[in-house]
Amino acid sequence: MTQPLFKKKILPSLIAMMVGSVAFQVALADEPQSAAPAATAPDGAPQVIEVVGIRETLNKNLATKRDSQNVMDSVSAEDVGKFPDKNIGDALQRVPGVTVENKLGVNRDVFIRGTNKDLNLAQLNGQDVASAYWWANDQQSRGFSFDILPSEIISSMDIYKSPSADQNEGSIGGLINVKTRKPFQFKEQLTAQFAVEEVYSTLPKKYDPQLSGMVNWKNEQNTFGVLFALNDQKQTLQRNGLENFTDGGSQYNVVNSQTGAVTQNVMAAWGGGTPIFQQDRKRTTENLVLEFRPNRQTDISVSFLNTNMNLDNSNQNYLWLWGGVATPAAAGATTGKSGTLTITNPVIINTPTGPALVGGTANTAGTGQNVNGYPIGGNLAFEPIFRKAYVDSQVFDVDGTYKGEGWLFHGQAGATNAKGGSKHDYDMWFGAPSSITTNTNGNDTFGVAYNSINPTNPNVLSLLSAHDNPREMKSTENYAQGDLSIDVNSSFIRDVKFGVKISDATNKNTQQSATDGPGQPGWQSLSLASVSTGSTPVLNSAAGALSQFAMVNNGAFWNTVVPMYNQGMVYSNNWAADYSIKEQITAAYGKADFEVDKLRGDFGLRLVKTADSSTGYEKLQGATNYSSVTVDHSYTDALPSLNVVYDLRKDLILRGAVSRGMARPDWSQLSPALTPDGTITNKYSGGNPTLKPYHANQIEAGFEWYFADASMLSATAFAKRLDTFIYTSSDFETVNGVASQVVHSVNANSGASINGLELQWQQPLGAGFGMVTNLTLTNAKSNATAEGQPAEVVGNSKSYFNYSAYYEKNGFSARLSYNYRSKTYGGFDEGGQDITSAYGQFDANASYDLTPNLSLFATGVNLNNEKVHMNTTAGIPVGTYENGSRYSLGLRGKF
């Protein structure tokens, strides 16, 4: 486990290195980007600093941080180039207070200052970007999917941790603004850049090419410029796992087959397995920017960004299933509502949510009842899933400024849309009766023995059914805003700023279902042996766990299985999953910047109205069809903010901020859908369209000491008081006049508190060596309960740590980085709340300048092959996953 090792050995060692200033770090210095001459730029237009080398890069980032009135951090394009970053999420993981969740081997979701991913707002050039997901278990959220944007397209990223009134609302943890490059940011009239790279992934043992390029041109008069960037990345992923499905909500009466003793209402995972996930990822991104400066006062840019991701994948899982040997419960049963399990040597433990079955032997074939709606015919199943998955995202934006005498107007309008999902989600179930012994008693314990069969023998399983569940998520948003800044230049107020913004967003989720099998047209029997060409590689070395099994060949599936089953697939809408949510936001703000002597800052107020209209489908108990239902809900927020900076001396500043923030519920949580339980009377599951938004009162204070060139030491304390947070709960409500149990998202009425401290230190050490490090500590508390038990704040980790040691001299640079996150609290399952164990990862890269314009570079990601471990608070294992390491070699040039 990473956490004890970190606390006992790694953390003291790293602190000692920090205190002793002994560090070695490597960085790749990109060629600089520069602005058009100041004489041709309109007043108020952003200027670009020409950057050469790592110290200049660090100075640029520190200058942005120091000059800001907000508590914030900045990452420049040059700095991104010094890391093995493949998307924006990769680039963010070393920012103080920021941690990134590795999803199937890709950094995708971002957490800031102990808050969940959905409480943070990410924007592109100051505006939202529509995003969608492809993974079958993902739900539409307001979190930004950072893997859609390659790191090469960015100019800089600003991470704001204290808000101002002119910034978009919607975040409590922080606001990330990703800025893309523009033509007039380049010094030369014509600039071309490229990078070619070959990437090797250790688990799939595959090499993949990656290519990026950019051409920028502007005329001699600096009145018109064009930038075009293209990025094409291929990557082969593999994830090996062990799983225990504790999220089924199943309660059984467990009979000890040896003694006849009965234990009532025992929670049991509906199953567990040994999955191997494989994916061929291809991402193509085009970015076109036109920029106009017809005079000194005017700057207009028109940009279009298009990302297409093909994400075909398979997940093959060898499963043991308690549900396959259960005797169904009698109608009206008050105990064991999921049925009765007869187990030899049952191991039952007490958990915060009741007794749980964590081991034993099931000897019977059972009654063949369904699991997740699929017939299994016993307690063993093999489930190969093959998906045609995709994500497409587009942004069109027009941005302009006009500088008058003593005033500046800014206008911006655009549209963004995204869609994603699976065009096909083919799922087959092979099954066989077998005596099975399991052991899930303890963290990371996934013991299983298939006593009657050999899992590597494909002849022992029979095909039971085939399914297809295509799904599509769509997201669109149109926006327009105007901002007016007026110079005041009084003895206290420097300038005032007013603005309005309107946006109109729609998020939809649709899904279809089709089943083939005995009795269906086109059904043909199929043996696993006919489509299997061998076993999986050795997937794990965990004691007692299944490590290999016969698997379906990818080519055989698409060439043989799909054409056969398509003949019998009859599709119908899955109404329970369908919803459409329309949201209109209207915002207005006023803000004043002030400065007197050594004191500067801003104060303001943002007013925002949110109006939601949620449409979904409900099916009441006993009804045969779903009916459409629409629920409207609106709310208005007043969000004041104050940022203060005091220059104690030239190299030492004090900061403070007070604000009220808000964040809206996830899209999927707002669905009004209501679906009856298949076995329990008067029990439903669904969404909650009347959820209240999160609100937080926030305060922070700190200092920043810029004690030397490219050096800084800082500390910032922060506190957040949330009035609510959202989690899934089971409550009794009146449905159609009947008291019913409803499982859906609810607002915790007791709120939560998050207190924390951010520490940063960076310093060159001489002789080409230097280091950059930061540590964030959080303490989150909640008085809320879930299933009668205390609920930790979802998404919170108590500590984040980043350390980078670099060397740069004589055209050679190298960097070694370590990124650590302590255990993280997730959702709620049987046996308590899910916990992801501490995670620490080493990355490295190096480069050598072959010529002033060409450099050779190499990277390594997850050098220590760190694994992801998940368990419940009661110590019941949920999953462990290995993503492997990644290495690359490439050539980068600029002309």
Cβ burial 801-815 (10 Å sphere, 16+ → b, else e): bbbbbbbbeeeebbb
DSSP-H helix ranges across 138-244 = none
Are 632 and 611 in contact by the 8 Å Cβ rule? The answer is yes
State the Cα–Cα distance between residues 141 and 134, nearest whole angstrom.
13
What is the H or E stretch that residue 27 is in?
A: none
Lowest mean pLDDT among 91-100, 216-225, 253-262, 771-780: 91-100
- The secondary element (H helix, E strand) that includes residue 707 is none
Amino acid letter, residue 625: N
The share of the chain scoring above pLDDT 70, in percent, equals 86
pLDDT digits (tens, 9 = 90+) for 144-164: 677 777 777 788 889 999 999
Would you state the torsion angle of the CA atoms of residues 123, 96, 651, 813, taken in this order, to the nearest 10 degrees? -100
pLDDT of residue 249: 60
- 543 found inside a domain: no
Can you tell me the distance from the alpha carbon of 724 to that of 726, in angstroms, rounded to the nearest whole number? 7
Q: Is the pLDDT of residue 177 over 90?
A: yes
Residue 559 is given by DSSP the state I
- Predicted local confidence at residue 678, as pLDDT: 59
In a domain, 437, yes or no: no
* E strand segments, 517-626: 534-535, 550-551, 571-573, 579-596, 599-618
**What 3-state DSSP class applies to 776?**
strand
Query: What's this model's pTM, rounded to 2 decimal places?
Result: 0.87
From the list 156, 1, 198, 166, the residue with the least C-alpha distance to 69 is 166
Q: Are 857 and 892 in contact (CB under 8 A)?
A: yes
User: Residues of the chain with pLDDT > 90: what percent?
Assistant: 59
CA distance linking residue 790 with residue 185, whole number of Å? 52
Residue 87 has pLDDT above 70, yes or no: no
Residue 120 and residue 173: Cα distance in Å, rounded? Answer: 5
CA distances for 277 relative to 274, 312, 537, 538, angstroms: 10, 11, 12, 13
User: pLDDT at residue 17 above 50?
Assistant: no
Confidence of residue 11 (pLDDT cuts 50, 70, 90): very low
Establish if 342 belongs to a structural domain: no
Mean pLDDT of the chain: 86
**Residues ≥6 apart with Cβ < 8 Å to 557:** 314, 384, 386, 426, 531
Q: Which of 51-60, 563-572, 597-606 has the highest mean pLDDT?
A: 597-606
Angle at 573 between CA 569 and CA 579, to 5 degrees: 150
Q: In degrees rounded to 5, what are phi and psi of residue 58?
A: -65, -40
Which uninterrupted H or E stretch holds 353? Answer: none
Report the sign of the C-alpha dihedral through residues 17, 21, 24, 27, in that order: positive
Structural domain tally of the chain?
1
Predicted confidence (pLDDT) at residue 25 exceeds the cutoff of 50: no
Does any domain span residue 141?
A: yes
The radius of gyration computed from the CA coordinates of the chain, to the nearest angstrom, equals: 28
pLDDT of residue 43: 41
In a domain, 784, yes or no: yes
Q: What is the mean pLDDT of residues 162-190?
A: 94
Sign of the torsion formed by the C-alpha atoms of 22, 25, 30 and 35: negative
pLDDT, residue 423, reads 94
| Structure tokens belonging to residue 493 | 């107020």
- Greatest mean pLDDT among 28-42, 478-492, 607-621 lies in 478-492
pLDDT of 30-77, one tens digit each? 333 333 333 334 444 443 333 345 677 788 889 999 999 999 999 876
658-678 mean pLDDT: 87
Bridge partners, 402 (sequence order):
298, 409
pLDDT at 28 over 80: no
Maximal C-alpha separation, the chain? 92
CA atoms of 609 and 662, how far apart (whole Å): 12
Mean pLDDT of 466-494: 95
pLDDT at 787: 61
Of 334 and 524, the structure prediction assigns the larger pLDDT to: 334
Q: Which two tokens stand for residue 697?
A: 């009162």
**797 CB neighbour count, 10 Å cutoff:** 21
SS (H, E, C) 94-120: CCCCEEEEEECCEEEEEEECCCCHHHC
Tell me the mean pLDDT in the region 849-858. Answer: 94
The predicted pLDDT at position 295 comes to 95
CA distances to 122, 159, 803 from 176, in Å: 5, 5, 21
Residues 875 and 244 sit within 8 Å (Cβ to Cβ): no
Closest CA to 771 of 740, 802, 811: 802
Residue 230: count of CB within 10 angstroms of its CB: 18
pLDDT at 54: 66
Beta-carbon contacts of residue 211 (< 8 Å; ≥ 6 apart): 194, 195, 196, 197, 230, 231, 232, 233
Strands (E), 379-487: 380-403, 407-432, 436-439, 447-450, 462-468, 471-487
In this structure, is residue 521 part of a structural domain? no
Structural contact between residues 789 and 353, judged by C-beta atoms closer than 8 angstroms:
yes
Provide CB contacts within 8 A for 358, sequence distance 6+.
347, 348, 349, 439, 440, 441, 876
pLDDT at 18: 37
Within-domain flag for 657: yes
Site of tokens 């965990």: 542
Distance separating alpha carbons of residues 238 and 276, to the nearest angstrom: 7
Q: Which pair of structure tokens corresponds to residue 440?
A: 């899930």
Domain that holds residue 192: 2-199+207-319+387-426+469-513+572-894
Highest mean pLDDT among 36-50, 93-107, 829-843: 829-843
DSSP string, 643-662: EEEEEEETTEEEEEEEEEEE
On the 0-12 / 13-18 / 19+ scale of CB atoms within 10 A, 636 is exposed
CA distance 533 to 864: 32
Whole-Å CA distances, 864 to 65, 75, 751, 861: 33, 26, 38, 9
CATH of the domain at 759: 2.40.170.20
- Determine how β-strand 271-292 pairs with β-strand 313-320: antiparallel
Write the single-letter amino acid at 17: M
Is 371 contained in some domain?
Answer: no
What's the pLDDT at 786? 64
Mean pLDDT, rounded, for 396-420:
97
pLDDT at 735 over 60: yes
* Residue closest to 350 by CA, chosen among 884, 873, 888, 895: 873
Q: Following DSSP, what letter does each residue of 715-773 receive, concatenated? A: EEEEEEEES--EEEEEEEEEETTEEEEEEEEEE-TT-EEEEEEEEEEEEEEETTEEEEE
Please name which of 52, 103, 105 lies closest in space to residue 81, comparing C-alpha atoms.
Answer: 52
Determine contact, residues 833/826, Cβ cutoff 8 Å: yes
As given in the structure block, the two tokens for residue 595 are 């400065």
Q: Phi and psi for 79 in degrees, rounded to 5?
A: -65, -40
Q: Please compute the mean of the pLDDT values over residues 172-178 and round it to a whole number.
A: 92
